[in-house]
Amino acid sequence: MIYSGYQSFLDKVFSGLRDMGIDVSDMEIDHIAYQTASSLEYDELKPELLKDTTLIREVIVNGRRVGVFKFNTAITYNSQKVEAIELIEPSSKEEAFNLLLYSRANTTYTTLELQS
């Protein structure tokens, strides 16, 4: 599940904030978010999320899908309940950049053209 490592991820986020001298101790976590690397990944992860969540709404924001899902059972982090997760589709520019990075990471230099 995409959120299975959320505890260690949030530990790193809050550690980084502390290291920068930013105090967020009086704030609550509203939700967590996951931006997919591609539209295909969004389509693959949405049904997986629906096993543990309910879709509250899915809207188009700046040309990309953003789904808000409510956990059937809230997840917790440091005694805070996190009720929702947001699944974000990348914009076409972000997707092209992600695909280029992926190709370079695998030492494959392929030119990809995306249709809008």
Determine the Cα–Cα distance for residues 88 and 33; give it in Å rounded to an integer. Answer: 7
pLDDT of residue 94: 59
pLDDT of residue 97: 53
Question: What does the pLDDT average to over 59-64?
Answer: 89
Chain mean pLDDT for the chain: 81
Determine the Cα–Cα distance for residues 33 and 27; give it in Å rounded to an integer. Answer: 17
From 15-29, 50-64, 68-82, 98-112, the region with the lowest mean pLDDT: 98-112
Q: What's the predicted TM-score (pTM) here?
A: 0.75
Beta bridge partners of 73: none
Does the pLDDT at position 76 exceed 90?
yes
Percentage of the residues of the chain whose pLDDT score is greater than 90:
41
pLDDT tier at 95, thresholds 50, 70, 90: low
Q: pLDDT tens for residues 14-24?
A: 888 899 898 88
Q: What residues contact residue 95 under an 8 Å CB cut-off, 6+ apart?
A: 37, 38, 39, 114
Q: Give, in degrees to the nearest 5, the angle at Cα 3 between 40 and 74.
A: 125
